[in-house]
Structure 1
């Protein structure tokens, strides 16, 4: 396993034109190594389950808040994905009959092309044999490969989104100083009430202090405005004019600093809950979360590992450090109680089986169960003293480890079946059908998402969830830094698994 992951990482770093396979390299190396000896792929079911559960749970935690906030806007995309899956299932049945592929193997090819292990389990139950596993192992690599190529094309040619809201993570926030020529209340400034800009410093009659939330600005005042470039320009135009002497450069009276949120009593609280203006005479202007800058609106929920920028009067540094914790070591550790409880509940949810007509059954499994629980807990942030979310760095580390274990184990366990059929006439027909299915599904999905006005980042992430492949999400994450990627993935991953489980049984038996 460790050699497969290590060599797979090397393969994933090799460029093939504009494409790098990234974490998916572990899958391809695993297939090659697993083909050498059947013993190498034995007994890896627990490793696959654990790796997949770790990956999808951490994705759910990170995407939960964004998913539920944007759920209404994503409903058309979710409905369209169901239509595409139904069409692809119909094509799978027709293509299998035309190519002379047994129905059971066609069901496995459908599950493999859309990389759904739970769907494979449903197909195996419906067929009453292991024949679907052969089709799955042949089509699975094609599903990963073709999807990554499509994602590479999509992310290389971004388009304008008509109906997709801009991300709250404003990449490239700026702060400028402006002189007030049009006096009035702070709330009258464009973007203040909407949470698009924040004001921090105020210079009046030669004295500098932190601006009050209910401030009435006077002519001649100078203030610092923070936000995206467009929002800041609108606010400055309303106020008067921009000045070149930046107030933030003078720290003799008012100071600013980033504090690391390591205090678990602060995590899961909003900026408003902390009452920094009332308690310390300061103001929170922005939050750095991973590689993203977020404007610190009053309703922004803080998470462990956030770096919070506070403007405050000198002399309050120690008090603020105690409030936030400000410990790098504190955010490098996870809370085993919350993390393991969440994963355990997700796995238990995945075990619940619902009988279906015809003797079949439906279960979320170890993929969708932890994802759904992670999304719910990510939306809650905390329950009483328990903080469910993980520090961003810890989340990404666990996510990567889980993904590599899952892909490496999947490759090793499928290597023998892949090698046995890959170069036979029947195997080649299955591979071609797999390419047809995933190519049709990916292209139709992208076209549908674009027609619905979805952004490039959300479309790429949603395609990864639609296909159901963690390696594709990891590939997108390496090319695009946008919260809509994970939100799109989370919105379609669980839905896709459910729909595929239902449809694959028809493909297998028709």
Structure 2
């Protein structure tokens, strides 16, 4: 794992292997002596369960929510996965690769470690799928990055995406605040950008008295307010309600103050801002929040997550009470409830053991890859069950996820090392490489083509391409080219978890 981390940080042009470095180092170490991999199956199962369960928890809420908003794209991707599996199987058969090696090539081009685990289990814990995975993996990073670059750079391709059903929010380097003098009567909810969540309001100065803006506030001529949002959205709002004020209202903190507070109260996980009743309880409003590295404009429909840092505007005397209500505890954010964690993973592994007869003596089971993933998705959607909080703060989730992934890949590498050494540098290895490259170049473009036909944005389609191959490196590349457009990350989240489930199902049929 240590040496794999070093290898994962090395750049080969625009490509980095990241956590997969542990796999390649493991293959090299395992090739030294077959006895080195004895007993590593337990580590493999444990690491995989941690990894996929964390993915399920983090994606559960968005997965079920995005099914309503992005179901067309998600259904299209399911169909493309089926076409892709058939195409890889056909190319593998033509090249004379066996089912196990073809299935490993399929998982490698999609850089899907859960699917690799499912292929190995379905083939009787064979090490052959890992050989195909390791050879095909680099193509699953390089070719999607090239495709995303072409999508973003080509005016001809960009012209095919009308985004008629997928408008994006205005871009701005950062969220800004603007003090505005109102020149016409207008309801706050009628101000451009407020309903869309790209503009919010905080301070209200009326007849010399400073108060907090409410969602039902009607603005009158002579009022002065503070608007918060992205620059382009603020300019559109300004055109409708008035003109810039001569002074900055935020400088007056005598009666109304603001503070950034960390959300660490477990009872607030997954709740909409309007459900917290901060406005009615404390006369306060949340104008913006920071989640990870992203700044967001807050609205009543913003869903809170543990670890969010929210900007609260409130009467000075209420700040301490609001801080206590939200939590503001770094210690609580960085702690883990091992009752919930252990119970959730155990339920996932138990579900994976359930076999469904397929006839002819064959059975289908989710296994240690899909079982924890499915349970994680469900529990991530539920969030709470009585006093048990299933979800974890994002930094904790990411840490456990990376630990599980590194353990799994290192164990797979050590176990599969002898088979890799036997096949990689032979004509069979060359055939695997050719099948991997041909599969991606012929069928991966179906994803942006489907996006264009469905009317989604180019940015969201780029995120779907990254999710199709399950590559965070490709996602990072797409986000850089799309100037961190939120639709890119949203497209990735909607397709990624669904893609893992579909891959797990397809790869088992490819092997049997």
**More off after superposition, 164-173 vs 206-215:** 164-173
C-alpha contact (below 8 Å) 2:101/2:131 kept by paired residues: no
Deviation at 1:267, TM superposition (A): 2.7
Match of 2:497 among 490, 496, 510: 490
Deviation at 1:464, TM superposition (A): 5.3
Q: Which residue of 2 aligns with 1:263?
A: 265
Q: Which residue of 1 aligns with 2:293?
A: 291
Deviation at 1:460, TM superposition (A): 5.3
C-alpha contact (below 8 Å) 1:32/1:415 kept by paired residues: yes
Deviation at 1:283, TM superposition (A): 0.9
C-alpha contact (below 8 Å) 2:30/2:37 kept by paired residues: yes
Deviation at 1:477, TM superposition (A): 5.0
Deviation at 1:332, TM superposition (A): 0.9
1:213-253 per-position Cα deviation (integer Å, ceiling 9, x unaligned): 33222211110112333332222221112235321122222
What number of residue pairs does the alignment pair up? Answer: 492
C-alpha contact (below 8 Å) 1:271/1:301 kept by paired residues: yes
Deviation at 1:212, TM superposition (A): 3.1
Q: Which residue of 2 aligns with 1:139?
A: 132
1:350 & 1:402 partners in 2: Cα distance? 18
C-alpha contact (below 8 Å) 1:155/1:457 kept by paired residues: no
Deviation at 1:391, TM superposition (A): 1.0
1:427 & 1:51 partners in 2: Cα distance? 27
Matched, 1:76 2:72: yes
C-alpha contact (below 8 Å) 2:188/2:215 kept by paired residues: yes
1:170 & 1:493 partners in 2: Cα distance? 33
Q: Which residue of 1 aligns with 2:191?
A: 189
Deviation at 1:448, TM superposition (A): 3.5
2:434 & 2:184 partners in 1: Cα distance? 68
1:339-364 per-position Cα deviation (integer Å, ceiling 9, x unaligned): 22222222222222111133322222
1:464-504 per-position Cα deviation (integer Å, ceiling 9, x unaligned): 5544x5xx236635874654223321122112211332344
Q: Which residue of 2 aligns with 1:433?
A: 435
Matched, 1:499 2:506: yes
1:409 & 1:329 partners in 2: Cα distance? 33
1:278 & 1:79 partners in 2: Cα distance? 42
Unaligned runs of 5+ in 1: 506-510
1:450 & 1:41 partners in 2: Cα distance? 47
2:171 & 2:304 partners in 1: Cα distance? 13
2:42 & 2:464 partners in 1: Cα distance? 27
C-alpha contact (below 8 Å) 1:47/1:409 kept by paired residues: yes
C-alpha contact (below 8 Å) 2:148/2:465 kept by paired residues: no
1:273 & 1:169 partners in 2: Cα distance? 29
C-alpha contact (below 8 Å) 2:181/2:223 kept by paired residues: yes
Q: Tell me the TM-score normalized by structure 2.
A: 0.87
Q: Which residue of 2 aligns with 1:398?
A: 400
1:236 & 1:152 partners in 2: Cα distance? 40
2:465 & 2:84 partners in 1: Cα distance? 15
Give the secondary structure class of the aligned counterpart of 2:270. coil
2:468 & 2:359 partners in 1: Cα distance? 25
| Two-structure CA RMSD over aligned residues (Å) | 2.9
1:301-322 per-position Cα deviation (integer Å, ceiling 9, x unaligned): 3222111210011122221121
1:96 & 1:188 partners in 2: Cα distance? 59
After superposition, the Cα gap between the structure-2 partners of 1:322 and 1:90, relative to the gap in structure 1 and judged at 3 Å, is closer
Q: Tell me the TM-score normalized by structure 1.
A: 0.87
C-alpha contact (below 8 Å) 1:142/1:435 kept by paired residues: no
